[in-house]
Amino acid sequence: MCSYTAGYSEQGAAAYLDTGIGSRAAAMGSAFVALGGTPDNIYWNAAGISRVGSHSVSMMSSMSGESRKLNYISYVFPFTIRPKDDFVGFGEKKNPVNAGIGIGWISYGVSGLEGRDTYGNPTEDFSDSENAIMLAYGQSLGYKLSLGVNLKYLMHHLTDYASAGGFAADLGIMYRISDIFTAGLNVQNMVGSMKWKIKDDVLNEEFEYNEKVLLNMKTGISAEIVKDKLVSVLDIDKTLEQKIRFHTGLEYMLRQNAAVRFGIDDMKITSGFGWRRNRMLLDYAFIYERFGWDIVHRFSLGLSFGAEREDMDIPAKPVRNQALRNMKKSKKRKKKMPEMKLKGRF
């Protein structure tokens, strides 16, 4: 058990969070910080959930070697904040604000680990179980800018003698540069730490210590090269005390309901496809595991339901009152009135 724990200590607590979630993101090289509008934004960039258009659910299951399992489920509830008073000044109208609340759960586990006692003697095999429960909020600030925050409660169970719990928080920003380019930034695991409780059955004592969740910064840009057809993404991320990693990917729509994806995830080739049927999405990704060369298969299912939200494209500038617009038009069209001769004696 000691050798296994030491392998993860170099990457801090909750290292499984670094593998990312979602089949679409994985197939595109894990470059997803500047793409919005899906429940997966709870993890990648909470600002993006403000662009989710209807109630949405996302589920993922990942299969890899060495008996490792990674599962994920999330839900986003979108809503629109409408101003009580439509007008902030003469002829100037307030805009509604798009927002969303998301909840998610990530589960990571490894089975068949070799156990050892305090003296290093082999014991029975055991399993490792780690979980993260997430609560996120995202909101648009006009047409271009969106902000989001994601709070995470982390749990780690390692045999009956060792367990840990803690918290971490993410802060996300998404900015629409133009109709083609969007930039994103996500600061993950701010002030993150987990408190371990370890029981020693020989000394009959309990030890406690804190382990940091390493800070990670992701920044990227997406480009809709061909509208509703071809999207390109590029991300750079840096985890504290680790090297910088690069991610890039492409998504090409073969037709309205089918897409193929390719990417490079830190020098590892990724690929996959997606298929849409009405309001159901099926995604698949084929990747190499970040911590080894095992082949990983990811499958995702997405469902959306309920009415589509209005006002998804909020104008960049306040909309002017119709009466004010008519007034300006009338001034432009106004012609000089001819002088009228008045009859009578004065």
Q: Where are the domains of the chain?
A: 22-328
Is the pLDDT at 126 greater than 80, yes or no? no
Residue 330 has pLDDT above 90, yes or no: no
In terms of DSSP H, where are the helices of 129-272?
none
> Could you confirm whether domain 22-328 is CATH 2.40.160.60?
yes
Q: What is the pLDDT of residues 74-102, one digit of tens each?
A: 999 999 988 776 555 544 566 788 999 99
Q: Which helix (H) or strand (E) holds 100?
A: strand 97-113
Tokens of 64: 């890899």
Residue 65 pLDDT exceeds 90: no
Q: Distance between CA 78 and CA 116 in Å, rounded?
A: 49
Grade residue 189 by pLDDT with cuts at 50, 70 and 90. Answer: very high
Contacts made by residues 283-287, CB under 8 angstroms, sequence distance 24+:
283/22, 283/23, 283/24, 283/27, 284/23, 284/27, 285/23, 285/24, 285/26, 285/27, 285/261, 286/27, 287/26, 287/27
pLDDT-based confidence at residue 127 (cuts at 50, 70, 90): confident
Instruction: For the chain, give the longest Cα–Cα distance.
Output: 126
pLDDT band, very low/low/confident/very high, at 328 (cuts 50, 70, 90): low
Mean pLDDT confidence for 270-274: 96
Burial-class residue 91 by CB neighbours within 10 Å (0-12, 13-18, 19+): middle
In this prediction, residue 137 carries a pLDDT of: 98
CA distance 186 to 189: 10
Q: What is the mean pLDDT of residues 18-39?
A: 96
Q: Is the pLDDT of residue 319 over 80?
A: no
